Amino acid sequence: MADWLVYDSLAPSTHGALAPLYEAAERGELSLPHCGQCGQPLELDQQRCDACGSAVIAWRAVEQKGTVHSSTTVHRREPGLILTEEPYPVAMPRISSTSCMRGTGFMK
């Protein structure tokens, strides 16, 4: 993560509840939380399944396909935050293999 951030301390924590997301990313995979009881896709920070009420979370690798709902090019330079001199794209995709996952990401 620090490859585009000025300071490592600006990067999100790769430990704790989202550790499986970052571990999968290190392997080149996209892993997202699902209900361990009924298989319902969950939001990244969701603690209980809306469908069955279970609090068991199972992380599963999902297909890396989706639809870009919004994108933009950021021209504002943030010299204290990111290491870039050029405008950079940011997109908001909806992952096809889930019913609810949306994310915003920095693209190289």
**CA angle, 82 then 85 then 87, to 5°:** 90
Global pTM value: 0.73
Q: What is the pLDDT of the chain when averaged over all its residues?
A: 84
Give the residue among 101, 106, 107 at the shortest CA–CA distance from 21: 101
Residue 17 is given by DSSP the state G
Listed in sequence order, the residues at least 6 apart from 99 whose beta carbon sits closer than 8 Å to its beta carbon are: 40, 41
Residue 25 to residue 59: CA distance in whole angstroms: 13
How is the chain split into domains, by residue range?
Answer: 8-106
Q: Sorting pLDDT into bands at 50, 70 and 90, what band is 102?
A: low
CA 3 to chain centre: 17
- Of the pLDDT bands very low, low, confident and very high (cuts 50, 70, 90), residue 1 is very low
Q: Given a cut of 70, is residue 58 above it in pLDDT?
A: yes
Whether the predicted pLDDT of 50 surpasses 90: yes
Residue 28 has what DSSP assignment?
Answer: T
Q: What is the CA radius of gyration of the chain?
A: 16
Q: Tens digit of pLDDT for each residue in 68-79? A: 888 888 888 777
What pLDDT, in 10s, does the model give residues 19-28?
Answer: 999 999 999 9
- Binned at pLDDT 50, 70 and 90, residue 90 comes out as confident
